Amino acid sequence: MSNISAQMVKELRERSGAGMMECKKALVENNGDLDAAMEWLRKSGLAKADKKASRIAAEGRIVTDQASGKAVLVEINCETDFVGKDASFLKFSDAVAEVALKSGAADIDALKAAAYPGGGTVEDAAKALIATIGEKIDVRRMARIENDGVIGNYIHGGRIGVLVSLKGGSEELAKGIAMHVAAMNPAHVRAEDVPAEFVAKEKEIALSLMSEKDKAKPAEILEKIISGKIHKIVSEVTLLGQPYVLDTNVTVAEALKKEGADVISVVRLAVGEGIEKVEEDFAAEVMKQAGLR
C-alpha cells in the first residue's frame, strides 16, 4: 500500500513507541489499518503497550458540586485557554455546577433546560455569555452520583474531574481513590469488568512473544506462565489491581479492605475527550491574508 501518510506513521509511533520505519512497515503490512498495525507491532515485540489515548482538544473546565449524598461533574467547553480562565466563564461554570446539583438534572439536555439564577435557562445563559466573550461555549457533558454511603470528588487543575462512590470507608479514602483515578485513569474497576475479547487478545500476544523453548513446555506449565502475564496486564488496567497512588506499597483493593470499603461507582471526565482540535498554521494564515500565498 503506497498511500501511507506521515500523519498515520506519527500517530502509530505515539501509540506504540516503536521506531518510524517499524511503524511504516506495520502500516504497509496491514493496509493502513492503525489498530491492526498496532497489534502487529506488539506481536513482533516492537511495542509493549498501546499508548493510544483520547485526543484532548477543546479548552474549558470540569466543575463539581456536592451535598447530602449527591454529587455532579459538568464539562463546559470554550475555544481558547484564555477564555477558560476568564472571570465570566469561571462564574458561569460554577453556577452551572450548582444548578446541575440542585435541579436534579440527570443528563445534559435536562441541565441545559434547567432554570439559571437570574432568569432563563442554562442554555440561555450560555448564549448570553457567547455574545459577551465572542467564543462558542458548550455545556457538553455531565455525570451524577447519588449514594447513601460515601462520595468523594476531586478536580485536577480544572481539566480532570472524578467522582467516586463507596460503600463503607471514609470521605478521606473516597477522595484518595478519586485522586488515584484522576492520575491513573484505569479502564475498568474490577478484573471481572475486563472484556473477554481483551483477555483473549492479550493471551494471543503473550504467546506470540514467548520463545520456542517456553512454548515447548508442558501445557499446564505454559498455561501458568500465560496466566501470570495476563494477571499482571489485567491488574494494570483495573482500579482495584493498581498500586494505590497515595501508598504504592498496597493496591487500591488492599487500601479499601483496610477500611472495610468497596467501590460502587466511578466517573471520570477530562476536558475535550474525543474532540479533535483543528491545528491552525497561524503563519500560513497571516501570509494568506496578506496575499503572500
Which CATH number belongs to the domain containing residue 37 in this structure? 1.10.8.10
Query: Is a pLDDT exceeding 70 seen at residue 149?
Result: yes
Q: Is the pLDDT of residue 53 over 90?
A: no
Cell numbers of 11, please?
Answer: 500517530
Q: Residue 21: which domain range?
A: 6-43
**100 and 118 fall within a common domain:** yes
Model confidence at 57: pLDDT above 50: no
Predicted local distance difference test score (pLDDT) of residue 283 = 53
How distant, in Å, are the alpha carbons of 3, 24, 193 from that of 9?
A: 11, 6, 32
Structural contact between residues 124 and 66, judged by C-beta atoms closer than 8 angstroms: no
- 136 with 63, same domain: the answer is yes
67 and 114 housed in the same domain: yes
Q: What is the pLDDT of residue 102?
A: 97
Q: Is the pLDDT of residue 214 over 80?
A: no
3-class state of residue 291 by DSSP: coil
Highest mean pLDDT among 9-13, 24-28, 39-43, 284-288: 24-28
Q: Where are the beta strands (DSSP E) in the chain?
A: 59-67, 70-78, 138-146, 150-156, 160-167, 243-244, 247-251, 262-270
> What pLDDT is recorded for position 282?
45
**pLDDT above 90: percentage of residues in the chain:** 58
Kindly state whether residues 127 and 106 are assigned to the same domain. yes
The arithmetic mean of pLDDT across residues 166-177, rounded, is: 96
* Bigger pLDDT: 38 vs 215: 38
Q: What's the total number of domains in the chain?
A: 2
Q: List alpha helices for 105-245, DSSP H.
A: 108-113, 122-133, 171-184, 196-208, 212-215, 219-237
Answer whether 57's CB lies under 8 Å from 275's CB. Answer: yes
Q: What is the mean pLDDT of residues 32-41?
A: 88
End-of-domain residue from the set 101, 126, 146: 146
Sign of the Cα pseudo-torsion (190, 191, 197, 203, in order): positive
